Structure 1
C-alpha cells in the first residue's frame, strides 16, 4: 500500500470514528437514561438527538480534514542528477547516499505518536532516516527513475535514466560520508542492489555503511517479513567481505535489529579490521515501533566515528 493511500485510509477511519461517536453516543445515553421508553419513542428521540449532532459532526469532520490537509507534506520536484551532481561533489558539506531495495519505496510507515492511534501522523522510513541524518547536519541523496518528477519530502531525490544510474551511484558513493542501505520488508535483493554492494566492496567503503531494517513486528508479534530483510543483510555482509567479522555469529544478534553499522578500527596488531554495531529493539505486548525507536537506533549508529570524506 502506498503512503498516500495509507494516509487516506487513516483519515477515513478517523472521520468515521468521529461520526460514530457523535451520532451513536447520544442514542445510547438516551437508552441508559430512560430504559423503559418504547421503540417508537426511542426512534423519534434518537432521530432528534442525532439531528442535533449532525451539524457538530460535520463541522468536526471538516476541521479534521483541514488538519490532515495542512499536516500532509506536499511532494517536491525531483532534481536532475546530471545537472546537480557536480555541485554536490564539489561541495565540502557531508552527505549520505541512500540505497534502497527496488520496489519498496515508501512502503514502511512509522507513527510519530503510537499511543494516540489514528490521530498519530506517520513518516516513511526514508523520511525518518533522512531526518536522523539531518540532525547531524548531513543531507541525504537517493536516486529515482527519470520518469519520477515529484517525490515526498525527506531525502533529496535525484532522477537518473537507466543508462546513467551506475555512473551516478559510483560518483556519489566515492565521496559520501555515510552510505545507508534501506531494506524493504519481504523484498529479495535485486541485481541493481547487488551491483551497488560490489561497488562498495571494490572501493573499500564498507566502513561507511549502515544497514537499516524494516520494523521487526508490533505488539509482541514478530513479523516474518523481517526474516527476508535479515537474510538480505547476512548476504550483504558476506558480499562485503568484512575482515574479522563472523557473519553467522552476527546473524544471531540481528533477530530484532533496526540498524547495523559497519566500523573499521585498528586491532592490537595494528591491523585495520571491521566490526559491527547492532541496534535492536524489544517487542512488548502493547508496544508499537514508531519513529522515536528508529531515532534512537539511528542516533546510536551515527555516534560512531564518521569516516573522512573524499574520493577513494
Structure 2
C-alpha cells in the first residue's frame, strides 16, 4: 500500500525486482559457466574439438529452459482491478488468503525454493521463489484456492502464483478493509530495508478493530542472506508486537500518522522474547498464556525459526529455504480453520 517512511513507489514497474531475482538465480557461478561456454565456443571457432563444447552447450540450454519454466512472472494483463474481484471474494462461502505488503515491494524477498541447487543441469544456476510465492503455494497446498495481493496500479511485472488486484493510491482502504474482514487467513510480509509504513499501521489497526488478529501471520526475510534487511525487519516485527500488546495507541491514531510505540517494550521483545532467527509469527487464541485480553479469549503468538543444523558432508549450516517457512504457514492456515467465524 502507499504510505510514508519509505521510498516512493509511484511508477513501480517490478523490473528491478526481476533483475534482483535473476542475479540471485544466476550468481557468480552461473556467470562463470557462461564465460566458460563462450571461451569453449571461441576454441571451436578456431578449429578445436566439438564434442565437449556441444555437451556444455546442451547442459546450459537445459538449465536456461528450466529457469524460464520456474521463473514465470505475471504480466499486466493478468492483474485485475480490485473492484472487479472484491465482490466475489466477500461473498458467503468464499475462502482466500490475503497477502499484505507495501506498494512497490512485490518480489523483493527472495527465498531458496529447495527445488534445485546450482548443478550442471541448471547451467550453474539455482532456483528461487519470492515470498509471495512461498505464501501462496503453502496456502494452495492446504485449501486448493487462491491467494490475493493488492498492488500498485502501475505494476507491470510481478511474481506468478497468486492473483494481483490493482488499486489506486487514494482508493485502496475501503476494499482492503472488506478483504481483511472476509479473509480466511492474512499474511503480512515485512519487506527488507523499510520501516512499517503509515498505510501498514492502518491495516494493523483495521485487523484489530475487525477482530481478525487471530488470522494474522507475519513473515520476515531470510536471515542468512547478506544485505537482506533481516535485522531491521525483525526490529519492525518487535514494534508490531508492542503495538498489539497495547492497541489503544492505534485507536485514536490521526490520519496520516504513526503510533507512538514504547521503545522499552520493543527492546523487550527484541532482546527477551523473539529467538535470534525468528522468521515469522502467527497470532492465535486460547493456547496457553495470555498476550492480549479480549472478551472472547486471549490472543497469543507463536513463532517460527530457521533450521540451525550442520551437514555431515559439507560442514556448514543449512540454509533458509521455502521448506523452512512452510511449517509456520501450514500451522497458521490450519489454526485459522479452527477459529470461529
More helix by share: 1
Which secondary structure does the structure 2 equivalent of 1:172 belong to? helix
Pair 1:278 & 2:303 matched:
yes
Number of the residue aligned with 1:171? 178
Question: Residue 255 of structure 1 is aligned with which of 276, 281, 290?
Answer: 276
Distance 1:206 1:265 in 2: 13
- The alignment of Structure 1 onto Structure 2 pairs a total of residues equal to 286
Distance 1:107 1:268 in 2: 35
Pair 1:233 & 2:232 matched:
no
Which segment is superposed worse, 161-170 or 73-82? 73-82
Distance 2:183 2:130 in 1: 22
Distance 1:78 1:158 in 2: 6
Number of the residue aligned with 2:322? 291
Distance 1:53 1:294 in 2: 41
Q: TM-score, normalised by structure 1?
A: 0.77
Distance 2:94 2:103 in 1: 28
Q: TM-score, normalised by structure 2?
A: 0.72
In the superposition, relative to structure 1, how do residues 233 and 290 fare at CA in structure 2: closer, same or farther (>3 Å)? Answer: same
CA displacement at 1:271 relative to structure 2: 6.3
Gaps of 5+ in 1: 25-43
Contact 2:110 2:128 in 1 (8 A): yes
Number of the residue aligned with 2:129? 123
CA displacement at 1:233 relative to structure 2: 1.0
In the superposition, relative to structure 1, how do residues 72 and 267 fare at CA in structure 2: closer, same or farther (>3 Å)? Answer: closer
In the superposition, relative to structure 1, how do residues 309 and 271 fare at CA in structure 2: closer, same or farther (>3 Å)? Answer: closer
In the superposition, relative to structure 1, how do residues 207 and 105 fare at CA in structure 2: closer, same or farther (>3 Å)? Answer: same
In the superposition, relative to structure 1, how do residues 115 and 165 fare at CA in structure 2: closer, same or farther (>3 Å)? Answer: closer
Contact 2:304 2:325 in 1 (8 A): no
Gaps of 5+ in 2: 1-14, 119-123, 248-264, 310-315
Q: Which runs of 4+ in 1 moved over 4 A?
A: 21-24, 47-52, 246-250, 266-271, 307-310
Distance 1:233 1:57 in 2: 46
- Rg larger in structure: 1
